[in-house]
Structure 1
Amino acid sequence: MKRAAGLVITLIILLSQTSCFGLRQINELAIVTAVGLGLGDKPGTIKVSAQIIRPADARGQTGAPSGGTGQPIYSISAEGTSIFDAIRNLGRVSSRRVYWAHNFLIVMDEDYARKGIKDMVDFFTRNHELRMNTRVAVTPDLPDQVVSTITGLEVVPGEAVDRLFQNNHVVGRAPASDMMNLEEAFLSSSTEPVLARVQLKPRGISNKKPEEHGSLKQVELGGAAAFLGDKMVGWLSVKEARGLLFFLEKLGSGIEVVKCPNNDGVMSIEFKRARLKVTPSYANKEPKFGVRLTTEADIVESGCAIHLDEGIRQDAEEKLEQRLKSNIDSVIDKAQHRYHSDFLKLGDVFRNKYPEEWRVLKRDWNRTFSDAKIDVEVEATIKSGVLKSVGTEIR
């Protein structure tokens, strides 16, 4: 009898261990794929806009599935005195529990970012459902419009923006910012945060109205937002963002278009295997930095002449060097003299080489960084696309 009772108890325990007490059915969840943050209409409030996927309609079909609407997403918004309060208020209009584990994007408007993002970093890093590789960006547009914009290729807009970030290394016009590197910079004493800029541009063409070019707005990734502490201090242009990526992401390749020396045409130059080296030094209680960029390049398209000679090659190298140096100089000048914010991570480089000196300088590093001398040198070598001699092309 005792053995039978023990067997029953054992079976009950085993069954309880294999059951799904925490199971959440997909038809009971509001799966968020993008979220927008902005200031609310009432003073002291925050507006949260959520892009929620419709599982029944997100099938990539042209027509609406049976019982569906044909729209792959459903966008809702709510306000509150905090982010958590606003999210709780989403429950007033959402019939399902908001679920964050599949969120691709957090986008904030400029006013919200300038006021401070400390609460955003705190909330989303504490949220156990959120992935730390979630993309983070700032927009000059309304964030609820950004997260609800349907793209032409992807079914889910949040996923489309995530793919823009994934392919960003090809274009090289914005930092690949996510929650992980945002929190890292936010907690660091040697660098400041910088986030990608997204905005709506009339780039799409309607299939129903092809004659109306740009009749559909699409999300464009380009430029960046610079921060000092938790507050946004200004924008970086696409050109400045290109220079920024050499420091932050070791940008290795890209395209630059320069003018021809012999006519009004232009040539496209692809630089590759780019290497940026930053060398810090310290003398007379003043830090200095030497920045050297070396790269190889190919002429991939030319409107200069049918045959490109050695003189055109040298001119192209000089113009490429000037273009890349201008990109780097412009972002350094913006960081030092306008925003007084070391988002270039030069403080990290200095700290690694001079740890003792850093203990003193870190107390007011942004001011010290703003006064530091930074010398920039660029060397480019074109390997192919020109003629070394008649009938011999450099490869």
Structure 2
Amino acid sequence: MCSSVIRLRLVVTISCLFILTGCWSRIEINDRAFVTAMFIDYPEKGVYEVSLGFPLPNRMINGVGLAGNNNGNQYTIVTKRSESIPVAIRKIRSDLSREISWGHCRVVVVGRKMAELGIDQLLEFAAREPNFHTKTFLFVSPTNGQDISKLTPVFERLPSEVLREYAQRNVTLGATIKDFLEAEASGGDMLTGMLTIGQTEMLSEKGKVSTWVGTDGAALFKNGVMVGTLDVIGMRAGLWLKGKMKSSMNSIKSPTDGKTISFLIQTSKASIKPILNGDQIEFKIQIEAEDDVLSSESNIDLLDPKQVDTLEDLLSKQLKDRVLRTIQTTQSKGVDVFNLGRILAWRYPKVWEQNKDRWHEVYKDCKIHVTTQIYVKRTGAERNSAIRNREH
């Protein structure tokens, strides 16, 4: 009996060894080129230009320093042109000594011309490439996408990390590929951040004129095609509507002497509810936020509850006007970038079914009711401006 058990165990053990043969299709990490960003342009009719950003591991020490040549960058950009995005990527792959890996790509930038042509081919590629993260952020360049790849990363190691931080810190609207793909189910309308680019002397680069990239307004997409833009105030209104506005500053003129009072936004939340009023589709938008007084040049008494109430009313009115102006801009273009149609579909699916085929026209005539309330929670220990106290 014992020998039979031993033989049985031996057979099972040997059988397990056949299973543990390893991964036949594995690619060693030293044979991979990790994409950190993709930049796409449409330079001429029928031609796509794709640029991929890669870190250079042979110039890094433990991911923080440079090995050997201290004058070289830790990253490179490889560019190819073709009649489609996948073919251009295939050409890039042919010129690399390593296999392309998409696991670290978190940023895609499309040039303005490409955005106005439409990003359907980009979304098609992202949806079909199994290793491409759909949580990758998508931005629009005011010029060419490749121009953004030339930015000088000062605080970060790679250009892609600068852009990713803009989105993660809610400095601008950071729509992802996933957001665009989900929007396709309700008309393809979407809103994402616009970048700005320029040249300036940088002390970090020994005073050389270098490329800097910052945030600007937002790009409006309708059916995957860019049809307009919002200014910075409109972009910030978009952050309010999405409940992503926090750790940001806002300023108003004091009602007592017209001097500037600045507030730090701590938290915000927004709710959107559809309302049916007969045949009329309406939406009720409520936004609440908590602010702290950051600085005051005014003689207003911040310890007086009535004065604080006045400031809250002014802040609330300012926000309401900006949100209404932004929504009216989207309605005039018939582009539902805040996905009110999707909210209507969740709440009233039958009404959505009746209107989804002509939603862009219906959206133009929807009544939007906006209610805003900002609470000033902390005013600080100073009754009046510290500067004015010193002057007196």
TM-score (norm 2): 0.85
Q: What is the distance in 1 between the residues matched to 2:203 and 2:67?
A: 22
Query: Following TM superposition, by how much is the alpha carbon of 1:249 offset from its aligned partner in structure 2, in angstroms?
Result: 4.0
Figure out how many residues of one structure are paired with residues of the other and give that number. Answer: 376
Query: Is 1:276 aligned to 2:270, yes or no?
Result: yes
What residue identity is the alignment partner of 1:340? G
Match of 1:40 in 2: 43
Match of 1:393 in 2: none
Query: Is 1:233 aligned to 2:227, yes or no?
Result: yes
Query: Is 1:77 aligned to 2:75, yes or no?
Result: no
Query: Is 1:141 aligned to 2:143, yes or no?
Result: yes
Query: Following TM superposition, by how much is the alpha carbon of 1:250 offset from its aligned partner in structure 2, in angstroms?
Result: 5.0
Match of 1:14 in 2: 17
Q: What is the distance in 2 between the residues matched to 1:122 and 1:208?
A: 39
Query: Following TM superposition, by how much is the alpha carbon of 1:265 offset from its aligned partner in structure 2, in angstroms?
Result: 2.8
SS across alignment from 1:207: helix
Query: Following TM superposition, by how much is the alpha carbon of 1:45 offset from its aligned partner in structure 2, in angstroms?
Result: 1.1
Match of 1:175 in 2: 173
Which of 300, 304, 321 matches 1:326?
Answer: 321
Query: Following TM superposition, by how much is the alpha carbon of 1:237 offset from its aligned partner in structure 2, in angstroms?
Result: 1.6
Which of 354, 361, 369 matches 1:367?
Answer: 361
Query: Is 1:335 aligned to 2:333, yes or no?
Result: no
Alpha-carbon contact 2:186-2:341 (below 8 Å) kept: no
Query: Following TM superposition, by how much is the alpha carbon of 1:118 offset from its aligned partner in structure 2, in angstroms?
Result: 0.8
Q: What is the distance in 2 between the residues matched to 1:8 and 1:150?
A: 62
Alpha-carbon contact 2:243-2:268 (below 8 Å) kept: no
Match of 1:129 in 2: 131
What residue identity is the alignment partner of 1:322? K
**CA spacing shift, 1:271–1:156, aligned 2, 3 Å:** closer
What residue identity is the alignment partner of 1:262? T
SS across alignment from 1:341: coil
Query: Following TM superposition, by how much is the alpha carbon of 1:17 offset from its aligned partner in structure 2, in angstroms?
Result: 2.9
Alpha-carbon contact 1:261-1:304 (below 8 Å) kept: no
Q: What is the distance in 2 between the residues matched to 1:72 and 1:377?
A: 49
Query: Following TM superposition, by how much is the alpha carbon of 1:204 offset from its aligned partner in structure 2, in angstroms?
Result: 6.9
Query: Is 1:56 aligned to 2:58, yes or no?
Result: yes
**CA spacing shift, 1:272–1:10, aligned 2, 3 Å:** closer
Q: What is the distance in 1 between the residues matched to 2:205 and 2:365?
A: 57
CA displacement 1:77-118 (0-9 Å, x = unmatched): 001111111111113433333221211211101111111111
Structure 2: unaligned runs, 5 residues or longer = 1-6, 385-392
Pairwise CA RMSD: 3.1
**CA spacing shift, 1:91–1:274, aligned 2, 3 Å:** closer
What residue identity is the alignment partner of 1:176? G
Query: Following TM superposition, by how much is the alpha carbon of 1:363 offset from its aligned partner in structure 2, in angstroms?
Result: 1.5
Q: Percent identity?
A: 24
CA displacement 1:323-345 (0-9 Å, x = unmatched): 211221121011101x2111112
Alpha-carbon contact 2:256-2:300 (below 8 Å) kept: no
Q: What is the distance in 1 between the residues matched to 2:186 and 2:25?
A: 37
Match of 2:28 in 1: 25
Alpha-carbon contact 1:361-1:368 (below 8 Å) kept: yes
Query: Is 1:349 aligned to 2:346, yes or no?
Result: no
Match of 2:312 in 1: 317
Q: What is the distance in 2 between the residues matched to 1:91 and 1:224?
A: 33
Q: What is the distance in 2 between the residues matched to 1:209 and 1:386?
A: 41
Query: Is 1:287 aligned to 2:281, yes or no?
Result: yes
Alpha-carbon contact 2:301-2:383 (below 8 Å) kept: no
**CA spacing shift, 1:204–1:240, aligned 2, 3 Å:** farther
SS across alignment from 1:18: coil
**CA spacing shift, 1:143–1:283, aligned 2, 3 Å:** same
Alpha-carbon contact 2:111-2:146 (below 8 Å) kept: no
Query: Following TM superposition, by how much is the alpha carbon of 1:226 offset from its aligned partner in structure 2, in angstroms?
Result: 0.9
Query: Following TM superposition, by how much is the alpha carbon of 1:46 offset from its aligned partner in structure 2, in angstroms?
Result: 0.5
Q: What is the distance in 2 between the residues matched to 1:9 and 1:16?
A: 11
Matches within 5 A, 1:212-223: 215-223=209-217
Q: What is the distance in 2 between the residues matched to 1:102 and 1:346?
A: 33
SS across alignment from 2:355: helix
What residue identity is the alignment partner of 1:334? T
Alpha-carbon contact 1:58-1:155 (below 8 Å) kept: no
CA displacement 1:123-163 (0-9 Å, x = unmatched): 11110111121111111132112124231011122123212
What residue identity is the alignment partner of 1:195? T
Which of 370, 374, 378 matches 1:380?
Answer: 374
**CA spacing shift, 1:204–1:256, aligned 2, 3 Å:** farther
Q: What is the distance in 2 between the residues matched to 1:13 and 1:26?
A: 27
Query: Following TM superposition, by how much is the alpha carbon of 1:242 offset from its aligned partner in structure 2, in angstroms?
Result: 1.4
TM-score (norm 1): 0.85
Structure 1: unaligned runs, 5 residues or longer = 391-395
